[in-house]
Every structure is written in structure tokens, then in C-alpha cells.
Amino acid sequence: MAKNLYIAEKPSVAREFARVLGLRTSNNDGYMESDEAIFTWCIGHLVTMSYPDAYDAIYKRWSLSTLPFIPAEFKYEIIENVKKQFKIVSSLLNRKDVATIYVCTDSGREGEYIYRLVETQSGITKKNSFQGKNRRRVWIDSQTEDEIKRGIREAKDLTEYDNLSAAAHLRAKEDYLMGINFSRALTLKYSDTIKSYLKTDKAVISVGRVMTCVLGMVVKREREIRAFVKTPFYRVIANVGGIENPVGTTTPGRPSFPTFEAEWKATEGSLSSPGSRYFNSPLLYKENGFKTEETAKELINFLSQPERGPLVVIDIEKKKEQKNAPLLYNLAELQNDCAKFFKISPDETLKIAQELYEKKLITYPRTDARVLSSAVGKEIEKNLKGLTGYQVLSAFTNEVLLGGSYKKINSTRYVNDKQVTDHYAIIPTGQGLNALNSLTPTAAKVYEIISRRFLSIFYPAAVYQKVSLTLGTKGEKFFASFKVLSDEGYLKVARHAYGGKRAALESAGETPRVGEAGIETPDTEESEAHDLDFIKALSALKPGQELPLNDLVIKEGETTPPKRYNSGTLILTMENAGQFIEDDELRAQMKGSGIGTSATRAEILKKLITIKYLNLNKKTQIITPTLFGEMIYDVVNNSIRALLDPALTASWEKGLQMVANGDITEEEYMIKLNDFVSRRTNQVKDAQNMKSMYRFYDEAAVNYNKK
């Protein structure tokens, strides 16, 4: 009897497929079997690329004479500690009674690569027509029962994923060639300088296509911070108001019109209004401050002589401002928020997300998309109905179901088929809720913020009342802007208490209210009640009305350096690496291309920390370079500088995506890759700048010797 063979990545997934299909299976060593089907697993990677010495023993010893190393055909081998499982999977693939193979590894580039290597190494190849077996690809977005059944039912012929497989093989070859050639060449050329400087016996220079670029981003940011020189500036602030009774108030015991602050700015004149005497003056720091305190005092003296007059309302702008719920989570956004709220690394966040996925609580986490597909949008009621059993948010879920807004979700910005590639955004499935009791407190919080973000998209926009004032005296103008929440809309479900109030507000997409002199302060229920009265009072003002100018003060400020990356913001920066491209046309072409992928970024960052190129403060998640990391940066910067360019690294990733899409061929990509590796390796071999590196080491070391 012909049988179906289901190959998953993990035993738990294989067991779940067997359960969903309702088959009575017997347990065997490394697989399960019933009368109709066989279920087995790969335990991650079973096959890997061979080291150079597998091609020829001459490559075992590192030597410049054997570089560049670019094999005509790549060799692969079985990973030693999983040989037993490989033999089991391979034997099952080659069983004559297996007619159809269902590939159930993770639905992504890496999952595709894991299976294809096993298949090829097992002798199931195009040359032998895959032994006449029918090969199907199961592509799913969650591990719920319905989704698994759909994936099996709609499984496509595996050949439809050949381009994705080609891109996966190319990614591995690219990392292999750059890693082997550049790491060996740079180590042979420069490791002696590092060893002598650090007084150590060993210094291997580990280089990678993405890893080195990320190191460069962190080192460059650190050096920008060191080189930053703070610039003081002085703003002139007016204390305005205190009118006894210009309008009524609805709040007992409150002043009828409290004082507020307005900020001076140097403005250009017009036919109807004179400009500032300081407009375009070299004495200015931007338009709202001065470079010296003396100039600020001169302005105050000018406005106060012979006496301080009132400020006249020149213009008043009143408007409603709407703020929609933010887009749904992709992995990078989730990692960023988890670093902010829970102080956990991107690697820890991915582990939690994977756990939630395997427990059927959320959809596939390794996604770059922040929207849903239209097919999912049509069925979204299932997710919502299931989520009513989640007590933390059941009231909000029931409100959404009762209101019916979910029925029109496909006509919103949260559904866009063009922005969905392999998988749609991370959302709760509404299933697996029994597993919530087994989650760690942090994992439970991660599930909560995913669910809150999901429910937010079914709520109306938050509405703010905004009033902006322009006040004038003696040709000089002062500005004040006030914003208060009048209808919370989606914010009532989006808000949570994690990571401090400001972080939570920002995650929800809420803009903190703009208070006195443009200084941002978070909303509170009390200030909102006060502000609503205040907004009414301001709204009643008319152009030409005079307000008391109670005082003029100088507020000193200073410019601040760029912020250090934390683990979350670094992941987001990797995702959006195309922003570093200066050319507008090329930047537009590269939009959406990052360095690394959602599946690999956390692991790359973890490796940089493990090999001591970067430091991670676990309490704050702030990332800084080590002296060793800075020295590696200087070596690369003076040898293969292109590796530090995020735009170039993003372009390689874009190329892989083009292969996956069928826009360019595997052969075209390899020609460019081989040329790049050969040229850069030969440049390193010809380099004669080893001794000059000590100067760069000294410049970096000064910042560490102090500690």
C-alpha cells in the first residue's frame, strides 16, 4: 500500500500532524507510522556545508597561497551528532512504498533549505526523477488544526518553491565564501598586530556578510557619541495668561484661565506682519534659541522696555487630529517592544514567540509583514471568537464582535496582499488558550501585547483636540501648542502597564500631550480633565485679544548626542538598512530590504556578543562595542570597507529576494558573488598596512583604559 511521508522540523510538530489527521500510529525510533502514513522529523539542520579540507587536505592549514577558495561545486556532509536521525529520514525517503512526500518544515527560506539538503544527500534528486515520488510543500501560518488541514489540502508541488530553495542555497554559499575567505585572509594578515597589542596568544578575525556590517553600525554610533560636542542654547519663554474670567469653566475650584508658557521663535516678516529682528541672524541657534545667554537677555530687555506690554493673539488654529492604531507586529517590531518593556534580548523574544507558535497561541513569528492577507481578513472572526476565552481582554474582544467592525477589515490599511510575502503579521490564533497556564510570566506578557495590538485594529482612531496659538508683541512672536485626548478610541485596548507609562504610550502609537512651551508630558486622567476645560478656554480666544505677559525667562538647553542602540532598536535598524542609501532612486529600489532576515537577525546579534565583539547590558539592553570589536572594525575598515556598508549588505539581501521571486537566476547571482569575493580577498593579500594599524588601536584603546 502506497504511503504518505510527512517530514517536519521537530518531533512535536510531526506528532501534531499525526494527531490532526486522526491516524493511529505506532512509535518507532525517529519516526511514527500508521497504515496510511509515516511521520518523521529533522531536528533542525541534519546536513551542512563541508569545510575546505574536505575538498583537499591542503586547505586544512590556513595560507594566503590557497586563497581565494571558490569551489566549482560545493560539498555537503551530515552533521556528526545527528547522523542517526539523518539515516532514519533518508531511509524513509527511499522506501519504495512512499509515494508522496509532504514537506512540513518551517514555512520559510531556512525551513526550505533544511529539507532540500536532506533530500539531495539522500539521493532523491532531479537526475533520478526524484525516484518517481510526488513531492508536496505544506505552507502554513499557524499550527492550529484548521491551518494544518488547509496546508495539507492545498499543498503545492515542491517545484513551485525551487526559486526559494535556490535563494536559500545562495545565502548559505554567500556566508560560506565570505566567511572562509575573508576570515582567513584578514586573520593571516592582521592577527599578529592584534595579538601583540592585546598580549594574547590567539586572535581569529571572524567576519560575516551581515555580522560585520552590524558590528560597524554599533562602532560608528559609539564613535559619533564620543566625538559629539554639546552645544548650549538659550530659549526665551513667556509666562502668559491668568485672565480672571474671559470664559466660563466647568471644573469647580479651578482658575478660570490658568497661566501657560509660550516659546519665542524668530520668524520672517510679511506684508501684514513685521518679522523678528533676529530672523536669519548668525546669533541664532535654529529658529527658537540663541547661541549665547547674553543675546537672549538682549531680547528680553527689548521686550521689557519701557515696560512689558501684553501679548496679542495673532492667530489661533483649532483642529481635531486622528491617530489610527499602529500596524500589527512583525518579528522586528515585537523584538523592539520586548527589549523596551521587558528588557529581554531579541533572541529571547524569538524563543518566546516560537513557543507561543508551537502552542498554537499565535501565528508564524518569523515574518517581516505588518499586515494581513485578504484571505485571512475574511476569516478573522474565528480568531476573535476564540480570543473571547482570553480573560485579560475578553471584554474588548466581545465589544469588537458586537460592534462588527471586523467585517470591514479588508478595506483598511491593515490588510494588503502586496505587502505579504511568505507570511502575514503576527496575530493571536484564538486557540491553544489552555496553554496559557504553562507560560512563564514574561511569555504571558508577550502574548498579551500581541493580542492588544491585534484588537486595536478593530477600534476607531483616537481623537485629539488641538489648539495652536501665535502671540505677538513688538514684532516678535511666541508660539504655544496644546493637545488633549478627547476620544480614546483604540487606545483603551492598546494601553498596557509594561515598561513605564511613556514606553507603553509610544508602543500604542499615542503621542504624549504637548504641554507648556512644547515640552512633552504624558497624559493622565487628571490632566485630561483639566486640559479639556483649558482647551475650551483657549478655543474661545479671538485674534486681536490681549493676554497678560507675566514674565519672560531664559531656559538653557544643550544638544544631545545620538542614542546608543539597544537590542531592539538595533534589530529595527537592521530591518530598515535601506535607509542608509543616499541615492534617492536606489533607496526607493531597496525599500523593504534589510540586512539579515527576521529569522536570522537575533542569532547574528547573539553571536557578536558571544565572540566578545559587542557588550550587552542585560538590565538596559544597551549595546556597546568592546575594544576587541573596535579593533576588528578598524581592520575591516582598512581592508574590506565594503563589508561595513549597510546599503551593500542590504543589496545582497535584495538580490536573494530577486532570486526567490525568479527575477534573476542563480547563475547570475553566483557570478557577482564570486567576483566580489575574489577581488576583495586579493586586495587583502596585497595589503601592506599592517604596522599602521597600531595607530587605530591606540585611538580606540584610550576609551577603555580609563575604565
Q: Averaged over 302-315, what is the pLDDT?
A: 91
Judged by DSSP in three states, 187 sits in helix
Interval 81-133: pLDDT, tens:
999 999 999 999 999 999 999 999 999 999 999 999 999 999 999 888 899 99
| Short-list 322, 252, 239, CA closest to 530 | 252
Q: Kindly state the cell numbers that stand for 182.
A: 575573508
In b/e form, how buried is each residue of 299-337, taking b as 16+ CB within 10 angstroms? bbeebeeeebeebebbebeeeeeebbbbbbbbbbbbbbb
Q: Kindly state the cell numbers that stand for 671.
A: 557570478
Alpha helices, H only, 524-637 = 525-539, 567-575, 584-589, 601-610, 627-637
Query: What residues does each domain of the chain span?
Result: 3-154, 169-227+563-705, 232-325+464-558, 337-456
The count of C-alpha atoms lying within 13 angstroms of the C-alpha of 549, restricted to the half-sphere facing its C-beta, is: 25
CB 448 within 8 A of CB 426: no
d(CA 609, CA 615): 6
Is the pLDDT assigned to residue 272 strictly greater than 90?
Answer: no
Q: What is the DSSP letter of 37?
A: E
Q: Which residues contact 696 (CB under 8 A, 6 or more apart)?
A: 631, 634, 638
Structure confidence at residue 513 as a pLDDT band (50, 70, 90): very low
Q: What are phi and psi of 643, to 5 degrees?
A: -65, -20
Interval 567-605: pLDDT, tens:
999 999 998 876 766 666 656 655 666 788 888 999 999
Q: Is the dihedral of CA 608, 612, 614, 620 positive or negative?
A: positive
Structure confidence at residue 497 as a pLDDT band (50, 70, 90): confident
Q: Which CATH architecture describes the domain 3-154? A: 3-Layer(aba) Sandwich (3.40)
Which fold is adopted by the domain 169-227+563-705? Topoisomerase I; domain 2 (1.10.460)
Q: What are phi and psi of 464, to 5 degrees?
A: -115, 145
Residue 576: predicted pLDDT: 86
Residue 638: predicted pLDDT: 98
Q: Which residue has the higher pLDDT, 532 or 154?
A: 154
Q: Averaged over 535-546, what is the pLDDT?
A: 90
Q: Which residues contact 239 (CB under 8 A, 6 or more apart)?
A: 259, 260, 261, 549, 550, 551, 552, 553
| Short-list 274, 306, 278, 309, CA closest to 292 | 278
Distance of CA 383 to the CA centre of its chain: 25
> So what CATH class is 337-456?
mainly alpha
Q: Which residues contact 134 (CB under 8 A, 6 or more apart)?
A: 99, 100, 101
Residue 509: predicted pLDDT: 62
Judged by DSSP in three states, 444 sits in helix
d(CA 265, CA 279): 9
Is the pLDDT assigned to residue 247 strictly greater than 70?
Answer: no
Alpha helices, H only, 584-663 = 584-589, 601-610, 627-637, 646-661
Which fold is adopted by the domain 232-325+464-558? Topoisomerase I; domain 3 (2.70.20)
Interval 148-167: pLDDT, tens:
999 999 999 999 999 999 99
Structure confidence at residue 249 as a pLDDT band (50, 70, 90): very low
Q: Is the dihedral of CA 14, 18, 20, 21 positive or negative?
A: positive
Q: Which neighbouring-strand residues pair with 48?
A: 77
